[in-house]
Structure 1
């Protein structure tokens, strides 16, 4: 199978799907920010992911039957652990953080996920290239600049919280290619979302969150519906299709675009300030991420083996998005489309 080449499908479909991922996943930070205006952050995530999991599971059952969910106990536990790391603590802490910091600042700090992935690889003696380490130092310098100054976008509590969520997301991405996972990528995501959503429900209830339906605004309900239908299903479907039909080097560009989209939407729709600190710090982070991704994807073997959180660290970005399928766990129908 060729991972880094396109087939005969029209280029317009590839760019259309990429545009969906650019805009939709960049907008999820805004969606989370609006949803938590009147819905407790962890409970909003629980509603989002459990509902999305039910819709995705229903689609899979209709299309492929119960065989799509055939998995061993170890594979189920692997998906469950990753779901908790990505969604319960990763996405959950992001939602909590957005109570204190701007959506744009949150997106820029989440963009540091590929940098943490390289740090984890170094910790297990998988020594990255010198340019990769340089990119990590540059990117983390940008993270430090935004964190220490606050970037006029929120409190230190929010910044620490979103960074903890980013590290959790990175751990989940790192482990997902190193433990047994279900063979079907969509079934994997359904398990991750239902377990991650259940974890958010338990954690949110445990810390005292309560959903007062009468207090939820129409604006927040619309944002939640957008996150479920557009962010979780349409965006995820477009991303999954791209993995089978577009070059990995092209797909990974969403890592640079999503934070810019999030900052722009936050400024336009929530009147969030775009300060010099945000611009400079954000550009430094993205420069580091760009150096890491461009350096890592030059090794084709590593891209093929570790696309979901090892070698091609670009696909680990996405604290505001959905669990991302490992390329070597792609659904058989997607695999065939990939050539």
Structure 2
């Protein structure tokens, strides 16, 4: 991001920065528990597919109502690839992992995404700094500690799902900023959600997912929460932070989400986290912090 552009921006309203930060911290941190609650009635890929299709339709309708530019054919193609990776593979497998592993530990494992982004970036000529390399090494050590815990060792299918999810999400993140850019602003997010949601529904159909009973009220409320708060409000808050705050502030949610997810999982879903798993989560977050410092030390803003 160009520092001249940053310096020419009008000063953001301080009253909106805090709510936007809290939205990214609390809402995104709570979506892992909401995914688990929705799984009671909604199969994983169907849950995610309908969530992103609903949010994508609402957001694209807003873009059209505001007469904002719609994505081009090339940008729709990019959205299909990115949506397939980040939402079809990433979020679909996260929901699948939620059937086997606690939501808090899933969020802690997903904290390694910045490390994987650095790794994928090597293939596209993005050489990490020494501090970023150190953060990747610390993060890998934390992951090795985490997967030794009882929660992961007892659920190899869940482990495979969350590993695949992080690989797909991080690759999609790198491609979206290098080779396959999306349309600018809300139109890009909407096109990604529509394409990813369609792919998720195709996967759900191929797997033969189906309802065994009408949705329970708690599961339906969790699904609505994911659509309105997780996909629309939190994404809008993140876009606001990207436009009005420093990159460091906008991406600081990566440190907070796992902590909130772990707390909510223990407090409201009776999820068990051992002392060793808490330690591993701390090591992973320290690795993310080192990568974060490496990026902010070398990047503008």
TM-score bracket, normalised by the shorter chain, equals over 0.9
What are the residue-to-residue correspondences of 1:1-339 with 2, within 5 Å?
1-3=4-6, 7-64=10-67, 68-71=69-72, 73-151=73-151, 155-212=155-212, 214-301=213-300
1: CA distance, partners of 2:109 / 2:288: 11
TM-score with structure 1 length normalisation? 0.83
2: CA distance, partners of 1:219 / 1:181: 37
Residue ranges of structure 1 left out of the alignment (5+ in a row): 304-339
How far did 1:124 drift? 3.7
CA distance 1:157–1:6, change in 2 (3 Å): farther
Q: Can you list the C-alpha shifts for 1:159-217, whole angstroms capped at 9, x where unaligned?
A: 221011011000000100112434432111111111111111111111121134x4321
Give SS of 1:297's match. helix
1: CA distance, partners of 2:87 / 2:122: 25
CA distance 1:274–1:149, change in 2 (3 Å): closer
How far did 1:42 drift? 0.4
User: Is the CA contact 1:43–1:211 (under 8 Å) kept in the aligned structure 2?
Assistant: no
Equivalent residues, number: 298
User: Is the CA contact 1:153–1:273 (under 8 Å) kept in the aligned structure 2?
Assistant: no
Q: Can you list the C-alpha shifts for 1:202-257, whole angstroms capped at 9, x where unaligned?
A: 11111121134x43211110000000001111111111111111111112211000
Q: Can you list the C-alpha shifts for 1:136-177, whole angstroms capped at 9, x where unaligned?
A: 010011111111334479512212210110110000001001
How far did 1:6 drift? 7.3
Give SS of 2:120's match. helix
Cα-Cα RMSD: 1.8
CA distance 1:107–1:6, change in 2 (3 Å): farther
Residue ranges of structure 2 left out of the alignment (5+ in a row): none
CA distance 1:135–1:38, change in 2 (3 Å): same
How far did 1:70 drift? 4.3
